Amino acid sequence: MKKAVILYSGGLDSTTCMAIARDNGFEPYALSFSYGQRHSVELEKAREYAPLVGAKEHMVVDIDLRQMGGSALTSEIEVPKDGADQTQIPITYVPARNTIFLSFALGWAEVLGAQDIYIGVNAVDYSGYPDCRPEFIAAFQAMADLATRAGVEGNPYKIQAPLINLTKAQIIERGLALGVDYRYTHSCYDPAEDGRACGHCDSCLLRLKGFADAGSSDPVAYV
């Protein structure tokens, strides 16, 4: 079986991506990051869920983005609630995050002999993050072939972003059709101590609307 590296947060999008990679015939190697998230519950859930949603291996790379500052997700800036201004890049944006994550995925892919990297970015519900757009993915792929031994030797990389043109509802419908159990996913930016989702952050609002639009209900617990 061909291997693929999946950028995996334990969330709804990356879990759906993993199911799509498996459906495309790949053995998924899940890659997560401990990057100074405000709530380590995200990472605990990713470790717990990775084998349950089909990862062959799960690697967690420790990188401390907190010392760089600049984002509500990794610093003490307050997470916005109940409808951020969607016309601007939000303060939950982490500088160069997907660039950094894809770079590690590229390194691991080269070591594994994998040519495919899956990333669950989405240009519809993308919250204004510049590194979630198709033009960014295309530019990263072009760079990857020049950056690596495999690329130079004629084995091009493919950065697979299968969710990029789907709405959240379409992502959920695709996942349900592939048998994804969304109990084993976690999306909230600001969960309670016991791990339940807040229901009010951007990520919860998008997720709840997605399930509603898909005519389904979200199996995770909310406060």
Under the rule (CB under 8 A), what is the footprint of its own copies? 59, 61-65, 67-70, 89, 93-100, 102-104, 106-108, 110-111, 130-131, 133, 135-136, 139-140, 142-144, 146-149, 151-152
Q: Provide, rounded to whole angstroms, the least separation between the CB of residue 67 and its own copies.
A: 6
Q: Provide, rounded to whole angstroms, the least separation between the CB of residue 77 and its own copies.
A: 12
Report which of 189, 111, 107 is spatially closest to residue 144, judged by C-alpha positions.
107
* DSSP class of 124: S
Phi, psi (5° rounding) for residue 79?
Answer: -75, 130
Q: Provide, rounded to whole angstroms, the least separation between the CB of residue 132 and its own copies.
A: 10
Nearer to its own copies, 54 or 107 (CB): 107
Q: How many CB atoms lie within 10 A of CB 57?
A: 15
The C-alpha atoms of residue 200 and residue 213 are separated, in whole angstroms, by 17
Q: Provide, rounded to whole angstroms, the least separation between the CB of residue 63 and its own copies.
A: 5
Annotate 7-40 with b (16+ C-beta within 10 A) or e (fewer).
bbbbbbbbbbbbbbbbeeebbbbbbbbebbbbbe
Determine contact, residues 188/197, Cβ cutoff 8 Å. yes
Phi, psi (5° rounding) for residue 2?
Answer: -70, 145
Q: Provide, rounded to whole angstroms, the least separation between the CB of residue 71 and its own copies.
A: 9
